[in-house]
Amino acid sequence: MPTAGLKFEQTDHVGALVGKELATKSALALALGLLGIFIYVSFRFATSFAVASLAALAHDLIITIGIFALSGRELSLIMVAAVLTIAGYSINDKIVVFDRIRSGLRDRLSGSVAEVMNTSINETLSRTILTGGTVLLTVLALYFFGGPVLNDFAFSFLIGVIVGTYSSIFIASPIVLWWTRARGRDTSALRREVIQQTTTAGRLAPRS
């Protein structure tokens, strides 16, 4: 109402040029992060694990962004920060599972590769659930009590934790086997590759 005496102190507007620059830099940051993850996992584990980690990570981010968009929320810098945070959390969870699988393939000579993977995942299941559960409780506290500023971040991270936890168990490891077979190799070759990569990484590691 004109008689209310209200006036605008400041008006901010994000133009198309700034929005495009934001999208470009965000995509570049994510692409560089994924490239770094691929190189690290390839060096520490094997190429099959690197492909699986990127595929599972893409699955996590696509579902998170999709649910966020379907909820009618605004894509902003906060969402970009959430996506990068989810990527870090998700890949860390998968690295823990992959590390146990690598140990199983290296130390257990009996059983098929699929059986060793299944046993290794079961061994890390309690840790994965406990880690995801504690993070989930923290994010729920942010969502309900963090106020409107943190609401979008907490909402997207909440989805990312749930999706990232189940993809570490049900998606990442099966993709390792699928990729190995897709290259026309027997799964036993995966065990030899893991042992070779472990030996190479051990030789290149700095001596104390």
151 pLDDT higher than 90: no
Reference 100, options 188, 163, 172; nearest CA is: 172
pLDDT in tens, 25-45: 777 887 888 888 889 888 888
The answer to whether 172 touches 180, Cβ cutoff 8 Å, is no
149 in a structural domain: yes
120 in a structural domain: yes
172 in a structural domain: yes
Q: The domain that contains 192 carries what CATH number?
A: 1.20.1640.10
* More confident position, 154 or 188: 154
**Non-local CB neighbours of 44 within 8 Å, separated by 6+ positions:** 197, 201
158 in a structural domain: yes
pLDDT in tens, 87-118: 888 888 898 888 888 888 877 656 777 888 88
Band (129; pLDDT cuts 50, 70, 90): confident
What is the domain count for the chain? 1
* Max CA separation in the chain (angstroms): 84
pLDDT of 56: 92
Give me the domain span that covers residue 43.
20-196
The answer to whether 163 touches 65, Cβ cutoff 8 Å, is no
DSSP string, 83-133: HHHHHHHHHHHHHHHHHHHHHHHHH--SS-HHHHHHHHHHHHHHHHHHHHH
Average pLDDT in the 186-202 region?
65
